[in-house]
Structure 1
Amino acid sequence: MIGLPDPGDWEARKQRRAKKKAKATGAAGAGVSPGAVPPQMTNPWETAARQLQEQRTDPAAVSAARPATAPEPSTAGPAAAPWTVVDEHSGAAFARRFGRGVLWALVGALALLGAKSVLVPKNTPAPAQQAAPAQSGPAYPADEARAVAARYARAYLAWDEKTPETRAAMLATVLPEGADTAAGWDGHGRQDVLAVEPGTVTPAAQRQARVRVDVLVRPAAPAAPKPGAPAAPAPPAYWVGLDVPVVQAGGRVVISGPPGMVGVPASGPAAPELDGPQADAPFSDQTTETVKQFFTAYAAGQTETVTAPGAVVPPLPSGIALVAVESWTADQGGGADRTGTARVTWQLGGAHLEQSYRVRLTRVVAASAQRWQVAAVLGGTTT
């Protein structure tokens, strides 16, 4: 494009001249003196560069002095000068410098980041750990605790100075091995236990628990003041509360320490007002005789004749007689099964005792006839 010779042509020419030079050197009497210095070839790239430099300095003079054809390389003259680097005035040099700068800047940034990661540990917050589900141990053996506490309470509050070994033997079955079987008793007096009612079990730490036991006791009558004098009447029985400490050890529940006597409330809390079912007066009148027949047979032990097919109602024990069915109120409803409340008075133990029952009736159909019969009976008024 700028008049420079093709490098391929230059190489070909160079090889041809080298061959000619070899021939000239080997031929004798070629007109060259033995001490003459062989001519040096001119580099066409240097010539082209010099011409381009002259053209930039004075384009008119160069144009006038330029020969019509490319000059042959000079065979004489000083040694070839080194290649002259031409300054580039386009954006290529700037682009190369800018690219190298960006590359070195990137390398420096990566080096700084690597050094920071080594010298300054990254404080990465620990991942939030999920709360481990609460692992509860096996449920406390409340039934066994009640049984052990009830046996202990019966033996603990019953004594007879004439047979102290009886109490000691009963206590030993629920006390730890080697425990004192006297359990705080001084060995005097006499007291009987009439009833034992275990209640609430309150678990505590280290497999311990506290069991509430209500005990009905009756002290023995005091001895007569004088021989032959009438014996004093026996004191009345009364309830006493007992908090019994127990512990589970070796696969069993045993008494872990002395108990403490506590009071028994004189009365319970006030009962809430409960909404009862609405009464069905016509149906109550229709089935009153059926209910009376049932309770009469119930006391006589002949329930099979007054109950519905398939119903099982065990009879009452002997010695109980029906005085009267005081009332029968059927609940509102419909269908083949109906329920109501009966108030009944019984005679037993030389006294009259009024009680309440929930009675379920079912309609039994046979051929063209139908009647109501008792299918179940439950004590109380719970609906």
Structure 2
Amino acid sequence: MTLGPTVRRIIGLPDAEDWEQRRAKRGKPKRGQHPASGGPSAAVNPWETAAQQLKEQRPAPASASVPAALAATPAPGPAPQPAAPWVTLDERSGSAFARRLGRGVLWTLVGAFALLGAKSVLLPKQTPAPAQSAAPAQAGPAYPAGEAQAVAARYARAYLSWDEAVPETRAAALAAVLPEGADTKTGWDGKGKQDVLAVEAGTVTPAAQKQARVRVDVLVRAAPAAPPKKGAPAAPVLPASWVGLDVPVVQAAGRVIVTGPPGLVGIPAAGPKAPELTIPEADVAFGEQTAETVQKFFAAYADGGDVEAVTAPGASVPPLPAGVSLVEVASWTADKGSGPDRTGTALVTWRTGGAQLEQTYRVELTRVTSADAQRWQVAALHGGTA
């Protein structure tokens, strides 16, 4: 039977809690003593201490000297055991599973980052290079077109000139532009006579191995044949004609030479059809305003006249040679525009060599301003419509 707190106070027994506290104080070992032997110990074993406390908390046997009431009183319940230094968890519990899962995820991330770092070091990402335009092929030095034209022109003049009376003249002229030891007759049979009146070198077409083909136009006139008998009328003078010549040349030892006989080629009788050209819009009012200025300029321009008085300051327009006179300025058309510089087209008729020639000019005008007036004067002059 369990005695209540009131009965215990009446009888003079201590409370259960006080009883346990007193018993704990009696059983508590002094500092530096072993819990069992009471002697000094270098270290306290928590397991031995817990066993000693359990023994002390067991109920003592009833003695004869104890009153019956006290003997009949049940021993107080065991005192609460001290908390263990650790708590054992069931490995199948949710907290253990969460802990293991978190550790697994953490180590997985660490491993993944380690692999990515090693890959970036061992196999760096190769950024594709930006697209670049194909580098132009390095062209070699330009073919010496000017020298090739000069050599071809000299060769064409010598090649198409001959005189059976003095064949050595032709041979000497050809030797200067042929390879050493080449045949200076180059296919001529040594007969007849022909003169070259003009030579015009044209297009140079480069080929392999530093070769090229030069187009040359030559104006030739054959001399009349000698009369077969004395007293016979002289043969008529043949008209001059243009012939084309393709001259093969090669660059060797720092100069250009002719490699062999050329080929005669025809010359077109007419050029190709001209494209449709845009005609500037005319400014009629400005054309009428400047017509007298243009007329005075061409009058001074002809026959070596003084043009400084009718040209703008700083303009350079050399006069025509003597023997050319002005017939008329057939037309003057000013282009539409604005500002101090204007342009127009003049159609002019000249007299020269006993004949009249109609020619076209592009005239540039500029406005010259003085203290008391302003006027238009010629700044530049170009032949043709371009």
- Correspondence for 1:287: 290
1:330 aligned onto 2:351 = no
How many Å separate the matches in 2 of 1:134 and 1:279? 48
How many Å separate the matches in 2 of 1:338 and 1:153? 46
1:134 aligned onto 2:121 = no
The one-letter amino acid paired with 2:335 is: D
- Correspondence for 2:176: 173
How many Å separate the matches in 1 of 2:250 and 2:173? 18
The TM-score with structure 2 as length reference comes to: 0.64
| Equivalent pair of 1:157/1:193 in contact (CA under 8 Å) | yes
Cα deviations by residue, 1:323-358 (Å, 9 ceiling, x for unpaired): 111110000011111100001111111111111000
Q: What is the 5 A alignment of 1:260-279?
A: 260-279=263-282
Aligned partner (choices 346, 349, 357) of residue 361 of structure 2: 357
Instruction: Measure how far apart 1:238 and its partner are.
Output: 0.8
- Find the residue that maps to 2:201 and give its secondary structure: strand
The one-letter amino acid paired with 1:248 is: Q
How many Å separate the matches in 2 of 1:225 and 1:353? 44
- Correspondence for 1:82: none
- Correspondence for 1:320: 324
- Correspondence for 2:26: none
- Correspondence for 2:375: 371
Cα deviations by residue, 1:227-257 (Å, 9 ceiling, x for unpaired): 2333222111111110100000000000011
Identity value in percent: 74
- Find the residue that maps to 1:167 and give its secondary structure: helix
Instruction: Measure how far apart 1:134 and its partner are.
Output: 2.9
The one-letter amino acid paired with 1:205 is: A
| Equivalent pair of 1:222/1:234 in contact (CA under 8 Å) | no
1:163 aligned onto 2:166 = yes
The one-letter amino acid paired with 1:182 is: K
- Correspondence for 2:113: none
Instruction: Measure how far apart 1:303 and its partner are.
Output: 1.3
- Correspondence for 2:345: 341
Aligned partner (choices 200, 211, 217) of residue 220 of structure 2: 217
The one-letter amino acid paired with 1:312 is: S
The one-letter amino acid paired with 1:360 is: E
1:323–1:179 Cα change, 3 Å: same
How many Å separate the matches in 2 of 1:246 and 1:232? 38
- Correspondence for 2:3: none
- Correspondence for 2:232: 229
- Correspondence for 1:50: none
1:375–1:132 Cα change, 3 Å: closer
The one-letter amino acid paired with 1:151 is: R
Aligned partner (choices 188, 211, 227) of residue 191 of structure 2: 188
1:145 aligned onto 2:153 = no
1:306 aligned onto 2:310 = yes
1:333–1:133 Cα change, 3 Å: closer
How many Å separate the matches in 1 of 2:348 and 2:261? 46
- Return structure 1 stretches of 4+ with deviation > 4 angstroms: 130-133
| Equivalent pair of 1:336/1:363 in contact (CA under 8 Å) | yes
- Correspondence for 2:78: none
Structure 2, unaligned runs of 5 or more = 1-131
- Correspondence for 1:207: 210
The one-letter amino acid paired with 2:299 is: T
Structure 1, unaligned runs of 5 or more = 1-129
How many Å separate the matches in 2 of 1:132 and 1:346? 56
The one-letter amino acid paired with 2:205 is: T
Cα deviations by residue, 1:284-308 (Å, 9 ceiling, x for unpaired): 1111111111111111321112111
- Find the residue that maps to 1:151 and give its secondary structure: helix
How many Å separate the matches in 1 of 2:328 and 2:274? 28
Instruction: Measure how far apart 1:221 and its partner are.
Output: 2.0
- Correspondence for 1:245: 248
1:132–1:294 Cα change, 3 Å: closer
1:190–1:298 Cα change, 3 Å: same
Give the count of matched residue pairs.
Answer: 253
How many Å separate the matches in 2 of 1:222 and 1:187? 14
The one-letter amino acid paired with 1:339 is: T
The TM-score with structure 1 as length reference comes to: 0.64
Cα deviations by residue, 1:360-380 (Å, 9 ceiling, x for unpaired): 011111112111111100000
